Amino acid sequence: MNVLVFIEQRDGRIHSASFQLLTLAEQLAGKTGGRVEAVVTGQNLGDLNDAISRGGARKIYVVDDAELAKYRVLPYCTAVCAAIEASKPKVVLFPTTFMGRDLASRVAARTRAALAIDCTEVSLDGDGITVSKPMYAGKFSGKFKLAPDRLQIVTVRTNAYGAAPPRANEGVEVQAVSLPLRDSDKRIAVKEIAATGSGVKDVTEADIVVSGGRALKTAENFKIIYALAEVLDGAVGASRAACDAGYQPHTRQVGLTGKVITPKLYIACGIDGAIQHLAGMRGSKVIVAINTKKDAPIFKVATYGCVCDLFTLVPLLTEELKKMRAH
Amino acid sequence: MRILTIVKHVPDSNVPIKVRPDGTGIDTTGLKYVIDPFDEFGVELAVQLREKRGDVSEIIALTQGPEKAAETLRVALAMGADSAIHLSDPIFESFDELFYASVIAEAVTKQSTPFDLVLCGKHNIDLDAGAVGPALAEFLDLAHVGAVTNLEITPDGRRFTARRRIEGAEEVVEGALPALLTIEKGLVEPRYPSLPNLMKAKKKPLTVLTSKELPGSASHKASAQIAYVTPPPPRPECKFIEGEPAQMAHELVRFLRDEAKVL
Ligand SMILES: Cc1cc2nc3c(=O)[nH]c(=O)nc-3n(C[C@H](O)[C@H](O)[C@H](O)COP(=O)(O)OP(=O)(O)OC[C@H]3O[C@@H](n4cnc5c(N)ncnc54)[C@H](O)[C@@H]3O)c2cc1C
Ligand SMILES: Nc1ncnc2c1ncn2[C@@H]1O[C@H](COP(=O)(O)O)[C@@H](O)[C@H]1O
């Protein structure tokens, strides 16, 4: 049973979640004597094959075309479908990113596949795939069996699986696939990609996220949150109350109507832990809550709790980390 | 310009949800439902487009769901949609986004006049997927733009420029109508329907379609079957760190480094 992994790249940088998928693909394919294959789509991709191979792929389908220079769902969908045609896999894995969700859904519709989005567990069960995925704003996890009579398409939550350390390149097979572009694939053009947040990492990209809530009281006060995020090389997030009050832009909002993230470490400062906020971060590996109210619901999901004024503790924490880094 | 806005009836995020004793789904008895917050953005956008432009001739809201989902259509009508379509049949019920999209696509294709703009939420707060919009676009052979945070349509109503949110950046894309857009938070602020408008909504036309009118949908099988629903994996009990603030900071860093190993 071959498993095809979609390697997400932008400007020649592979999204780290792609390597996590290669590890999962090996677990799935290994059980059946199948092969881990990868598809990478874009322009000028030659340099990426080594990294993809060291991540565990045995064969790489490369769709390299000027029309794929920037992500656009229609040409990318056509490119991935061409690779599926060539690879004839049983399962295709995508990362649960903006690109992965968007593309996997369209590819699944075009190939009339079975689809499951944002899975935290993926296993082989007889002739098909069984997955677990969050439902009802993360309040539950649902177990689903995909209809085995068709292609299985799954997007996998970032950090649900760890990436294996890179291995030696054992000589990977590379197949160039040409892009059977249709005129209708050109209906949308990308004009510009505008970075948001002046160079600060986005919450969806960082392993560590420090978030502030309404307790911060002003936009200015967020500077202590930024200082802590900086020593941790992390990103800054916020609750909806903090975004709605204008302390932070909506792009930083974590939660039901914000971003859903699963970093290794999430530090919630002055965030109460409303169910809609938990929906966005309860899957984080380690959660630290700093709150003056001992019965705040955030402590129900926290790994470590500090009942303390954030304006006192956050700067001390930043100093402590600086000291640790200096050693 | 004709606008179709797709809405879903979902459990209110504020209320606790219980699992059915057999574990195969949630207990919906007495559960409070609302219009999905992302779909509410879609309806609001449609209504604002009509208020700003002279050329929006019709706004139709469509849902697929049980009888009670008509309440969500009434909300859309009270916000300003002209008429509503309710796809309602037990065989339409599933946990499969592709199945939903194929049923909705069949209903849309049956409409006498095509739509210039189809609006969906970025994702729904029940299945947490965001798959229905892109899949529906594929089935209708429309281009789509996902997670739109800003939209401008040219005065002639032929072309649009949209901003869409991606990791750490925003893409500015341009295309022609017709198209399907999925709406992200921040594009518009939904209005509360006023009492008179809620009353008026009761008189607006609402058409119910079943598998009799949509025979094609019955021939598709859902691609995903739910086995059971469980609470998310339990999190370990919170370890409270005591002491003076300085000591607390010191201890916390030690735990994060030596115990949790995340530093
Ligand atoms: C449909 C819907 C969608 C929503 N989506 C989201 C979403 O995506 N994300 C989101 O976050 N919310 C969302 N919400 C809102 C959510 O219900 C809460 O209102 C919001 O999360 C509260 O933000 P907060 O915790 O910052 O503020 P508050 O509830 O005001 O909590 C502030 C916390 O800070 C603590 N505090 C105060 N001063 C200090 C201090 N000096 N030091 C330490 N602690 C202090 C308080 O004890 C309190 O716990 C949504 C709501 C709805 C209805
Ligand atoms: N049963 C349904 N009825 C109407 N619209 C739906 C339905 N399911 C999904 N949608 C639409 O598709 C979007 C994405 O849904 P989902 O893929 O389930 O997250 C929603 O915001 C709705 O606009």
Summarize pLDDT for A219-264 with one digit per residue, the tens.
999 999 999 999 999 999 999 999 999 999 988 999 999 999 999 9
Residues A225, A234: Cα–Cα separation, whole Å: 10
Q: Are A14 and A118 contained in the same domain?
A: yes
Q: Are A49 and A177 contained in the same domain?
A: yes
Q: Are A161 and A41 contained in the same domain?
A: yes
CB contact under 8 A, B226 and A208: no
User: For residue A263, is it within any domain?
Assistant: yes
Instruction: Choose among A164, A195, A206: nearest CA to A11.
Output: A195
pLDDT at residue A313, as a whole number? 98
Q: Are A137 and A88 contained in the same domain?
A: yes
User: For residue A61, is it within any domain?
Assistant: yes
pLDDT at residue B218, as a whole number? 65
Residue A231 contacts residue A290 (beta carbons within 8 Å) = no
pLDDT at residue B170, as a whole number? 86
Q: Are A245 and A314 contained in the same domain?
A: yes
Summarize pLDDT for B110-152 with one digit per residue, the tens.
999 999 999 999 988 888 889 999 999 999 999 999 999 999 9
Where residue A281 sits, what CATH number does that domain have?
A: 3.40.50.1220
User: For residue A73, is it within any domain?
Assistant: yes
User: For residue A152, is it within any domain?
Assistant: yes
Interface test with B, best of A304, A321, A322 (most B CBs within 10 A): A304
Strands B206-209 and B83-87: parallel
Q: Are A180 and A212 contained in the same domain?
A: no
Q: Tell me the average pLDDT across B243-255.
A: 97
Task: Kindly report the average pLDDT of chain B as a whole number.
Answer: 94
Residue A132 contacts residue A143 (beta carbons within 8 Å) = yes
Q: Which of B13-22, B111-120, B125-134, B220-229 has the highest mean pLDDT?
A: B111-120
CB contact under 8 A, B231 and A201: no
Of the residues A151, A186, A221, the one at which a domain ends: A186
Q: How far is CA A14 from the centre of its chain?
A: 12
pLDDT over threshold 60, residue A198: no
CB contact under 8 A, A134 and B263: no
Angstrom CA distances, B191 to A148, A308, B43, B45, B57, stand at 44, 38, 10, 10, 21
Q: What's this model's pTM, rounded to 2 decimal places?
A: 0.90
Does B157 contact ligand 1 (Cβ within 6 A)?
A: no
**Lowest mean pLDDT across A168-172, B33-37, B205-209:** A168-172
Helices (H), B148-244: 195-201, 215-219
Tokens of A313: 């503790």
Q: Are A47 and A151 contained in the same domain?
A: yes
Count other C-beta atoms under 10 Å from residue A51's C-beta. Answer: 17
pLDDT at residue A199, as a whole number? 61
Confidence of residue A196 (pLDDT cuts 50, 70, 90): low
pLDDT over threshold 60, residue A48: yes
| Residue to probe by mutation, ligand 2, list B124, B140, B217, most atoms within 8 Å of CB | B124
Beta bridge partners, B225, equal: A145
Summarize pLDDT for A50-78 with one digit per residue, the tens.
999 999 999 999 999 999 999 999 999 99
Confidence of residue B226 (pLDDT cuts 50, 70, 90): confident
Omega prior to A297 cis, within 30 of 0: no
pLDDT over threshold 90, residue B88: yes
Where residue A138 sits, what CATH number does that domain have?
A: 3.40.50.620
Residue A141 contacts residue A133 (beta carbons within 8 Å) = yes
**Lowest mean pLDDT across A5-9, A48-52, B22-26:** B22-26
Using a CB–CB cutoff of 8 Å, tell me whether B156 touches chain A.
no
Q: Are A18 and A147 contained in the same domain?
A: yes
Summarize pLDDT for B177-216 with one digit per residue, the tens.
999 999 998 899 999 999 999 999 999 999 999 999 999 8
Instruction: Choose among B42, B186, B208: nearest CA to B118.
Output: B42
Q: Are A226 and A169 contained in the same domain?
A: no
pLDDT at residue A54, as a whole number? 95
Q: Are A215 and A153 contained in the same domain?
A: no
> Which one is predicted more confidently, A127 or A148?
A148
Q: Tell me the average pLDDT across A150-157.
A: 96
Residue B41 contacts residue B67 (beta carbons within 8 Å) = no
φ and ψ at A201, to 5 degrees? -60, 150
Using a CB–CB cutoff of 8 Å, tell me whether B195 touches chain A.
no
User: For residue A281, is it within any domain?
Assistant: yes
**Lowest mean pLDDT across A14-23, B144-153, B217-226:** B217-226
Q: Are A37 and A7 contained in the same domain?
A: yes
pLDDT at residue A95, as a whole number? 97
Summarize pLDDT for B43-74 with one digit per residue, the tens.
999 999 999 999 999 999 999 999 999 999 99
Task: Kindly report the average pLDDT of chain A as a whole number.
Answer: 94
A19: containing domain: 3-186
Residues A253, A196: Cα–Cα separation, whole Å: 13
CA angle B38, A298, A312 (to 5 degrees): 115
User: For residue A71, is it within any domain?
Assistant: yes
pLDDT over threshold 80, residue A197: no
Q: Are A180 and A219 contained in the same domain?
A: no
Instruction: Choose among A325, A323, A291: nearest CA to A310.
Output: A291
| Ligand 2 center to B206 CA (angstroms) | 19
Residue type, A242: A
User: For residue A199, is it within any domain?
Assistant: no
Tokens of B23: 């574990």
Tokens of B63: 């849902």
| Ligand 2 center to B7 CA (angstroms) | 6
User: For residue A201, is it within any domain?
Assistant: no
Spell out which residues of chain B touch residue A130, defining contact as CB-CB under 8 Å.
Answer: 227
Helices (H) and strands (E) in chain B, counts: 7, 13
Query: Chain B 2-31, CB below 8 Å of chain A: which residues?
Result: 11, 13-14, 16-17, 19, 26
Summarize pLDDT for A205-221 with one digit per residue, the tens.
889 999 999 999 999 99
pLDDT over threshold 60, residue A299: yes
| Residue to probe by mutation, ligand 2, list B94, B120, B184, most atoms within 8 Å of CB | B120
Count of the separate structural domains present in chain A: 2
For residue A28, the SS3 value is helix
